[in-house]
Structure 1
Amino acid sequence: MFKSLWLQTAYSRDPYPALDQDVTCDICIIGGGLAGIANAYYLAKEGKDVILVEKDTILAGATGNSTGKLTAQHDFVYAKLLKQFGLDQAKLYYGVNEQAIEFARSFAKEGEIKAADSILYSQTKHGTELLRHEMRAYETLGIPGELGKNSELPIHIDATLTMPNESQIHPVRFGQHLAQLAVEAGARIYEHSDVVLMDLKKRLLAMKSGHEIQFTELILCTHYPIEALRGLQVMKLAVDRSYIVAAEGNMPLQGQYISVDSPKRSIRTAQFDDKTFFLLSGESHTAGAESNTEVHYKRLNTDVQELYHLDTLTNRWSAQDPQTPDLIPYAGIISSSMPYVYLSTGNRKWGLSNSLANARIISDLIVGRDNNASQLYAPDRTGFGSFLLQALKISGLVVTEFTGGHLTRTNAPICTHMGCRTRWNEGDETWDCPCHGSRFRKDGSVLEGPATKPLNLK
């Protein structure tokens, strides 16, 4: 029940080996999610000697716990991007995500990908005004869209905004296939291979096993860098957690939906292995900020049963994803003083298309190919200006939680990243850190970084 539908129905496969010797490579990638695997594929195809290391198993993090929507309709975003970045940059964001979808379609096998319209829907007059505002942005940017009332859902809908012919995927099967293609192109993938220290000046990674990786260039495809590197990217990312439940039922949808009103809900169905599953997600909050997370699952369960009349719940899971202060992910050189270290993060829960887009940007930078989106996605981009307040609030959360946590949660284990008190997550049975999003299993072992060392539960 606690395992995602995607991880539960992954392809059967042999595990990739753990790193058991000292190695050298052109490119080392830390993180075995879709972003890391796509980078491994792109760069191995370019003839680079690529190593990817994953501390657990590939695709078991954000990718395997996503909704599986592969779309450029990233909620109510284009009106905001148009205002913040202007016509050309907003159009570029749409373009690189559509290119990512086309790339996925070019190699995905049957059962890994399916065409689906992406649909924003409103249930209030205020929400409908937001849709009209977003539709005007679509028209300005030349994005195909239709404002109307296009819904198969058995709930009240006031209006819809449809982006036609997008995609949805089985993210784990899709990612496993891409990993296989990366290996066939020459990439080496190692699972259960923890990085415990990065010496960036020496271009050396020390592994938990005692072995070392000597690299020429390094790509960080974890949620956060293992350390707070130059540029303090950790302080510029908020982490949001949301919840998903799946139920078996005979109601396949042609579209995939997300509401613009509160409470936020994301809806899709998935069909594979002769079964149809209904997925409902929402209930977002700042990662690590709540202990009684069971209530979020209960609300989603109630909606599934009362609104959609489905009783056979099969899976429930949660996911978290960092968000940059200006909505655009980070993909590129992390600092001009270290032009051989690259970062891919901050996908704001739209990591499937953005992971593929990020990988194309980074791989193009490494091989010296022009990519028009490199400045838009650059981690060291300037112009934070109006976003500075949000960045300061994110930093302030760390200070607040560090102090308050030690005063009010004196029995909670201390996060091994930066010393914040963790909080027990009842719904997922994990220790969650509210400072930078680290998560630990019940036994104290690291589930998600930036922490690299287990909790001391004694």
Structure 2
Amino acid sequence: MTTSIWLQNMQTTINSSLQESLQTDVCIIGGGLSGIMTAYHLAKAGKSVVLLEGNSFLSGATGHSTGKLTAQHGLVYQTIIEKFGLDAAQLYYELNQKAITAALDLVDSSIIKPATSFLYTTESNNIKKIEDEWDAYKLLHIPGTFGEKCEIPYSSKASVSMLEQAQIHPVRFGQSIMDMAGKAGAKFFEHSRVAHINLSKPYVELENKQTVYCKDLVICSHYPLEAIVGLQLVKLKVNRSYIIAFKCSEPYKGQYLSIDQVGRSIRTVKIDNDYYTLLAGSSQRAGSSSNTNIYYEAIENEAFEKFSADEIDFKWSAQDPETPDLLPYVGQISSGYPNIWLATGFRKWGISNSIVAGQIISDGLLGQSNDGIKLYSPKHTKIGDTLMQALKVGGQTVVDLVGGYMTRSSNPRCTHLGCKTRWNEADETWDCPCHGSRFSKDGSVLEGPAVKPLDL
């Protein structure tokens, strides 16, 4: 397995696993930033809160992100205006911008720092897209600039900036919020994987047969654990991208994202006394390829050729569910289950959207108004193409030569809904292309929605 720069040599908060059944006001499943932010707000408001994580806290999407805290989520605002209207786009920006302000107030400058975000293109036929997004910024009164050149070593044809954004160390940020939530009374249990959810009671059962009974249940587990009301599982597709980090002499002033087909994400960070450039890209459908080394090689070659990197110090990959219409799913799953809440579908922009989600869910549970409740509702979209993808992959008969590990005429089936997994050669994992479950080479669960190990 490869290692994220955020998790390497980190002093992680050690939390015990749950060894007895509990009763609580709110049970939260998922120890990433959205679950932690929700726990923080609810505990501060006086609710009893139990947060369960199947692995280690912050070791999933949060700990494998680029740590960009920004409301600039790609070419999104022109699209939201077209699909949902000007007011919806304005609200989306304001909610994510408020998340940045809140984060700056919560932690000190060693964990978070201001930065300007840029979208850019190196292709002439994409200039119009940048211009259209800039037009959306002007309509929404988003502070920014339109230009051409960027400080990064790519020949930019056009760029648009968003001012007053930020960068964080995502793991240290999450740990700080956990500390505050713990002082407010929240209880955290890691290596406590949920095996079953009862929606009507509600309660959850763990693999070790312990049970958590609750008045309200919040599912922040990156991808919902079960195919429950509303078919959230078949509305989301999961994309995986690849990230490398290498030492550099000085930091960039901004953080960058290419809108081109061969997209790249770039930022710098100071860890201890060294500066590192983070270069990410090569996005592909999770589980769609076995030879994933080619994705690392593509960005590694650029690091050497364009950034004059001496060596690659860290490399890792990350995946995130994506909804069909760009907006995350945050809120009550359905009117029939008013005490079941969901946060997922952040489309690789989970730092700001996790902070937004924590506020939306806690406000909803506490009976407080929040304009984001309607905008982010899980009921706002049509079913995507994931079900068809699941049927196609589940019905395939594939013979894969797994380099350096084993040869199988029949890849193991995911223990979630039975899709055939693919061997990820670079990360040494079994990846499910249907709903994004990941398993280590010995079959143990790394990422859900699966909760049971592979039968190898």
Report the Cα offset of residue 336 of structure 1. Answer: 0.8
What is the alpha-carbon distance in structure 2 between the residues aligned to residue 286 and residue 274 of structure 1? 36
Q: Which moved more, 1:144-153 or 1:110-119?
A: 144-153
Partner of 1:2: 2
Letter paired with 1:377 = Y
Partner of 1:326: 325
Report the Cα offset of residue 407 of structure 1. Answer: 8.1
Partner of 2:207: 208
Report the Cα offset of residue 251 of structure 1. Answer: 2.9
SS at match of 2:82: helix
Q: Which moved more, 1:117-126 or 1:32-41?
A: 117-126
CA shift digits 1:402-434 (9 cap, x unpaired): 111468874211110011111100010000011
1:41 aligns with 2:33: no
1:401 aligns with 2:393: yes
What is the alpha-carbon distance in structure 2 between the residues aligned to residue 101 and residue 432 of structure 1? 33
Partner of 2:194: 195
Q: Identify if the C-alpha distance between structure 1 residues 278 and 30 changes in structure 2 by more than 3 Å, giving closer, same or farther.
A: same
Partner of 2:172: 173
Partner of 1:107: 106
What is the alpha-carbon distance in structure 2 between the residues aligned to residue 210 and residue 53 of structure 1? 14
Partner of 2:405: none
Partner of 1:133: 132
Partner of 2:270: 271
What is the alpha-carbon distance in structure 1 between the residues aligned to residue 107 and residue 2 of structure 2? 27
Letter paired with 2:197 = M
TM-score (norm 1): 0.96
1:246-265 equivalent positions in 2, closer than 5 A: 246-265=245-264
Letter paired with 2:20 = Q
Partner of 2:287: 288
Q: Is the 2:399–2:410 contact (alpha carbons within 8 Å) kept by the matching residues of 1?
A: no
Q: Is the 1:204–1:213 contact (alpha carbons within 8 Å) kept by the matching residues of 2?
A: yes
What is the alpha-carbon distance in structure 2 between the residues aligned to residue 14 and residue 264 of structure 1? 34
What is the alpha-carbon distance in structure 2 between the residues aligned to residue 294 and residue 405 of structure 1? 23
What is the alpha-carbon distance in structure 1 between the residues aligned to residue 335 and residue 153 of structure 2? 52
CA shift digits 1:112-149 (9 cap, x unpaired): 11111000111122222111110000011111121013
Letter paired with 2:233 = V
SS at match of 1:364: helix
1:371-410 equivalent positions in 2, closer than 5 A: 371-381=370-380, 384=381, 391=384, 393-405=385-397, 410=409
Q: How large is the Cα RMSD of the aligned pairs?
A: 1.3
Report the Cα offset of residue 262 of structure 1. Answer: 2.5
Partner of 2:163: 164
SS at match of 2:162: strand
SS at match of 2:387: helix
SS at match of 1:7: coil
What is the alpha-carbon distance in structure 2 between the residues aligned to residue 340 and residue 159 of structure 1? 47
Partner of 2:305: 306
Q: Which moved more, 1:107-116 or 1:400-409?
A: 400-409
Partner of 2:121: 122
SS at match of 1:365: helix
Q: Is the 2:399–2:411 contact (alpha carbons within 8 Å) kept by the matching residues of 1?
A: no
Percent of pairs with identical residues: 46
What is the alpha-carbon distance in structure 1 between the residues aligned to residue 28 and residue 9 of structure 2? 26
Partner of 2:51: 52
Q: Which moved more, 1:228-237 or 1:406-415?
A: 406-415
Report the Cα offset of residue 197 of structure 1. Answer: 1.1
TM-score (norm 2): 0.96
Letter paired with 1:371 = N
Q: Which moved more, 1:26-35 or 1:100-109?
A: 100-109
Q: Identify if the C-alpha distance between structure 1 residues 142 and 351 changes in structure 2 by more than 3 Å, giving closer, same or farther.
A: same
Letter paired with 2:2 = F
Q: Identify if the C-alpha distance between structure 1 residues 83 and 14 changes in structure 2 by more than 3 Å, giving closer, same or farther.
A: closer
1:67 aligns with 2:72: no
Report the Cα offset of residue 176 of structure 1. Answer: 0.7
What is the alpha-carbon distance in structure 2 between the residues aligned to residue 279 and residue 71 of structure 1? 16
Any unmatched runs of 5+ in structure 2? 401-407
Q: Is the 2:268–2:276 contact (alpha carbons within 8 Å) kept by the matching residues of 1?
A: yes
Q: Is the 2:149–2:157 contact (alpha carbons within 8 Å) kept by the matching residues of 1?
A: no
SS at match of 2:318: strand
Q: Is the 1:405–1:420 contact (alpha carbons within 8 Å) kept by the matching residues of 2?
A: no
SS at match of 1:105: helix
What is the alpha-carbon distance in structure 2 between the residues aligned to residue 107 and residue 88 of structure 1? 28
State how many pairs are aligned: 449
CA shift digits 1:330-382 (9 cap, x unpaired): 1000011110000000000000000110111111000000101111101123x
Q: Is the 1:117–1:162 contact (alpha carbons within 8 Å) kept by the matching residues of 2?
A: yes
Q: Identify if the C-alpha distance between structure 1 residues 405 and 421 changes in structure 2 by more than 3 Å, giving closer, same or farther.
A: farther
Q: Is the 1:331–1:344 contact (alpha carbons within 8 Å) kept by the matching residues of 2?
A: yes
